[in-house]
DNA sequence: GACACGTTTCAATTAATGTTGAAATATCAT
DNA sequence: ATGATATTTCAACATTAATTGAAACGTGTC
């Protein structure tokens, strides 16, 4: 992954509205949600949601599909995973012991987040 | 983790400069780097770096420590891990099979990124 | 103490982002 | 076709971010 793509993706997650939007779609993967449902669940006007949807679509983190007169949005989970991999790559100059220490410090369960390689 | 904190963290990673800055510190964990070295490695003026350093410091993703007349910056890896955990939480309504499919699709090695729980 | 060096703050400019209501567009139901 | 509904585009405004050079601030060195 290239820097430009990754920073665009983080940009897409950098507003409260868009972050909640994306997490909503992550929770609702793989089915996704139509715009109206998203608008209701986030409690923001559809016009504002549309603005933010454009940003996440541009980043690639979300995809859209026409469904009658609705538009269904879905989180692009594989891209999310690639982005995480990009962020954590070559962590600690590839010394697993240090990474392990950090992971313990974070309190995050190992099954959820083992960025340690091998 | 709260939405506000997480979006501030993604905001910190949303510019090319800051993303490269953070990844540089991740690679150089746990030792960190002093500002001058960062400035040289990123090839940007110290005044501009200082601006971006403030942003990542504010987010908590980077910490700083005085070292004589230098300032040493370090990536906050545990916070990075918590943030990743926040982003991926309740993925696919906790149906591991779907998550596994996505992971295969992403092409990311399982040891690097198993967000699947259990 | 005077000087050099690393780093930050300030001021100025340029550009981009977030929000809202009104209007436009597209699709389905009758 | 007409009307109702879903969603987007547009215009306007307020807010915030990015970049740069000059100046200021600390800290170590001679």
Q: What is the pTM of this model?
A: 0.91
Task: Quote the pLDDT of residue B89.
Answer: 85
Least confident segment among A84-93, B1-10, B67-76:
A84-93
Q: Which secondary-structure segment (H or E) carries B91?
A: none
Indicate the DSSP class of residue A92. G
**Cβ B27–A93 below 8 Å, yes or no?**
yes
Asked whether the beta carbons of A63 and A76 are under 8 A apart, the reply is yes
Q: Is A27 on the interface with B (CB under 8 A)?
A: yes
pLDDT in tens, B38-53: 999 999 999 999 999 9
- Using the 8-state DSSP alphabet, how is residue A93 labeled? G
Evaluate whether A22 touches A38 at the Cβ level (below 8 Å). no
Q: Is B2 on the interface with A (CB under 8 A)?
A: no
Task: Mark yes or no for CB contact A20/B3 under 8 Å.
Answer: yes
Predicted local confidence at residue A107, as pLDDT: 85
CB B83 within 8 A of CB B6: yes
pLDDT band at A112 (very low <50, low <70, confident <90, very high): low
Q: Which of A26, A106, A117 sits opposite B88 (nearest CB)?
A: A26
Footprint of strand D on the protein (CB under 7 A): A 34-37, 39, 46-47, 49-51, 53-54, 64, 69-71; B 11, 14-15, 17-18, 44-45, 47-48, 51-52, 55, 66, 68-69
**What was the pLDDT predicted at A111?**
63
Chain C: nucleotides below 7 Å from protein CB are 5-10, 17-23, 26-28
Q: Chain-wide mean pLDDT for chain B? A: 88
pLDDT at B36: 93
Does residue B67 have a pLDDT over 80? Answer: yes
- Residue B23: CB atoms within 10 A of its CB come to 20
A104 vs A23, higher pLDDT = A23
pLDDT at position B111 is 64
> Which pLDDT score, from 0 to 100, does residue A44 have?
93
Whether B24 has its CB under 8 Å from any CB of chain A: the answer is: no
**Would the pLDDT of A65 be above 90?**
yes
């Amino acid at each position: 992954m290239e820097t430009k793509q990754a920073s665009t993706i983080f940009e897409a997650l950098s507003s409260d509205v868009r972050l909640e939007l994306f997490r909503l779609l992550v929770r609702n993967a793989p089915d996704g949600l139509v715009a109206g449902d998203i608008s209701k669940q986030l409690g923001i006007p559809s016009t504002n949601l549309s603005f933010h949807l454009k940003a996440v679509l541009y980043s690639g983190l979300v995809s859209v599909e026409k469904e009658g007169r609705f538009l269904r949005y879905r989180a692009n989970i594989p891209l999310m995973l690639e982005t995480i991999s990009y962020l954590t790559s070559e962590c600690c100059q590839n010394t697993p012991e240090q990474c392990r220490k950090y992971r313990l410090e974070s309190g995050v369960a190992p099954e959820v987040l083992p960025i340690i390689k091998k």
